[in-house]
Amino acid sequence: MNFIRVTKRDDLPVRMEVIIRLVAIVLSLIAAGIVILVFGVDPVRIFKSIIEGSLGTTLRIQQTVVKAVPLIITSLGIMVAFKMKFWNIGAEGQITMGALAATWVALFMSDSMPLFAKLLLMALASMVAGGLWAFIPAFFKAKMGTNETIFTLMMNYIAIKFVTYLQYGPWKDPNSNGFPKIAPFPENAILPSLFGVHIGWIIAIICAILIYLFMTHTKKGYEIAVVGESTETARYAGMDIGKIIIIAMFVSGGLCGLVGMIQASAIEKTLVSGIANGYGFTAIITAWLAKLNPVIIIVVCLAFSMLIQGGAYIQIAMNVPSAVSSIVQGIILFFIMGAEFFLQYKVGFRHNEAKEVA
């Protein structure tokens, strides 16, 4: 028990870092393979099918991208907050409120509005709504030091239940034959497509570039990074910490709100209470795995949506429960997270036998 030693690493060459991560992925595939074997399925076929299912045909690639879009933009939003060590786990709620605002614009403002004017208005409304939903916990954190983790989490439920209320109550579609659902969006409120995928993917790329520039080339981005490192240093440098928290959270929530608009407009084509679909939580993982780097976020989110899309595919193609895919996802995550430990600590065996001690 005593022969394993764990010591903190000082500095790790980039090459070693890449090797450790690759080893983690290979090991995770082996471990996942064993689990799949237990289910009585050939793991190699499963892995092949996941790749086929996510990248095999143009249509499947398009589906993979469709799933990556909300993940990327939400991760970017979460990243801004996390850079400041503000643990925003309220992306689900911010997405939902964004979708709600977009829906209001879509359904209750003139149907004759030109397409892009309406979409732009929806996008703006969704960002403001998502931003405001994030502003509330940020305001209380800045002024009264409340715990943002619990606050943002609770805000999720309020948002989701509020949409449920609208769905069953005031916004119920009179033409739905009594079904509790909200009316579908009119034509001029639906995102157009480019290369077979709704233009959300372009928005995602633009967001990534803008957030990269915001975080590295503006004074506000710099302030956010300083506050995240040390609030005392921020105070020393004359920064208004409360204001910075509020602005950063508005940006964070605004991005998440935009996701709500994209999902409502392009995917659901209406508002449903489950519009956020867990992206707000998955994005925490992807943002973290990407080390809060906007460029890596795109890569990580694409890889994740391959797993999601491939998982859906094996369920249909191989008649395997999609839970298998979730298990594979979980195992891969587990190993990648585990690799973080080995990136920070060195584990070695003792050379000299421990001699008896007193």
Partner 1 sequence: MQNQAIETKENNIAIEMKGISKSFGALKANNNVNLTVFDGEVHALLGENGAGKSTLMNMLSGIYTPDEGTIAIHGRSVSFSSPKDSIKLGIGMIHQHFKLVDVMTAKENIIIGQPTDFVIKGKALTKKVKELSDRYGLDIDPDKKVYEMSVGEKQTLEIIKVLFRGARILIMDEPTAVLTPQEIKKLFGVIRNMKAQGCAVVIITHKMNEVMEISDRVTVLRKGESIETVVKNEVDIPKLIEMMVGKKVDLAIHKESFPKSEPLLKMDGVTVLDAEGKSALSDINFDLYPNEIVGVAGVANSGQKELCESIAGLVKADKGRIFFEGENIVGKTPRDIIVLGIRMGFIPEDRLGMGLVGGMDIVHNLILKDYQNQPGIRLRRGPCIEKAKKIVEQLDIMTPSIYTPVKRLSGGNIQKVLLGREIDSAPKVLITAYPVRGLDIGASYKIYDLLNEQKKNGVGVLFVGEDLDVLMDLCDRIIVLCHGEITGIVNPSEVTKEDIGLLMTGHRLEQEEE
Residue 15 touching partner 1 (CB under 8 A): no
SS3 148: helix
What six digits make up the tokens of 54? 């996510």
Minimum CB separation of residue 8 from partner 1 in Å reads 9
Q: Is 17 in the site for partner 1 (CB under 8 A)?
A: no
Please give the Cα distance from 343 to 238 (Å, whole number): 35
Q: Which stretch binds partner 1 (CB under 8 A): 3-11, 155-163, 302-310, 316-324?
A: 3-11
CB of 236 to partner 1, least distance (A): 5
Query: Quick one: tokens of 355?
Result: 């001699």
Q: 244 near 237, Cβ under 8 Å?
A: no
Q: Is 232 in the site for partner 1 (CB under 8 A)?
A: yes
Tell whether residue 218 is a contact of partner 1 (CB under 8 A): yes
Structure-token pair, residue 289: 């795995």
Size of residue set near partner 1 by CB under 8 A: 33
Considering the complex, state which of residue 45 and residue 220 has its C-beta at the smaller distance from partner 1.
Answer: 220
Task: Give the up-direction half-sphere exposure of residue 164: CA atoms within 13 A in the CB hemisphere.
Answer: 9
Comparison of 11 and 187: residue with beta carbon closer to partner 1: 11
Query: By C-beta, is 170 or 355 nearer to partner 1?
Result: 355
Candidates 37, 176, 229, 242; binder of partner 1 (CB under 8 A) is 229
240 vs 268, which CB is nearer to partner 1? Answer: 240
In 3D space, the residue among 304, 348, 315 whose CA is nearest the CA of residue 72 turns out to be: 304
Q: Indicate whether 220 belongs to the interface with partner 1 (CB under 8 A).
A: yes
Binding status of residue 222 toward partner 1 by CB under 8 A: yes
| Candidate ranges 53-61, 154-162, 210-218, 277-285; the one touching partner 1 (CB under 8 A) | 210-218
Q: In whole angstroms, how close is the CB of 214 to partner 1 at the nearest point? A: 9
Binding mask 234-263 for partner 1 (x = CB under 8 A): -xxxxxx-----------------------
Task: Name the residue type at position 312.
Answer: A
Q: Does 291 participate in binding partner 1 (rule CB under 8 A)?
A: no
Q: Is 9 in the site for partner 1 (CB under 8 A)?
A: yes
Among residues 310, 69, 82, 357, the alpha carbon closest in space to that of 191 is found at: 69
Q: Residue 85: which residues within 8 A CB-CB, separation 6 or more?
A: 227, 228
Which H or E element spans position 8?
A: strand 4-8
* Residue 14 contacts partner 1 per CB under 8 A: no
- Give the rounded distance of the alpha carbon of 166 from its chain centre: 26
Which position among 85, 143, 291, 350 is part of the footprint of partner 1 (CB under 8 A)?
Answer: 350
Closest CA to 67 of 187, 191, 204: 204
CA distances from 250 to 100, 130, 138, 254 (A): 17, 8, 8, 6
Tokens representing 71?
Answer: 């993940």
Encoded one letter per residue, x for contact with partner 1 by CB under 8 A and - for no contact, window 170-209 reads: ----------------------------------------
Contact between residue 37 and residue 43 where contact means Cβ atoms under 8 Å apart: yes
Residues 6+ apart with CB under 8 A from 191: 119, 198, 199, 200, 262, 265, 266
- Which residues are near partner 1 by CB under 8 A? 2-3, 5, 7, 9-11, 216-222, 225-226, 229-230, 232-233, 235-240, 350, 352-355, 357-358
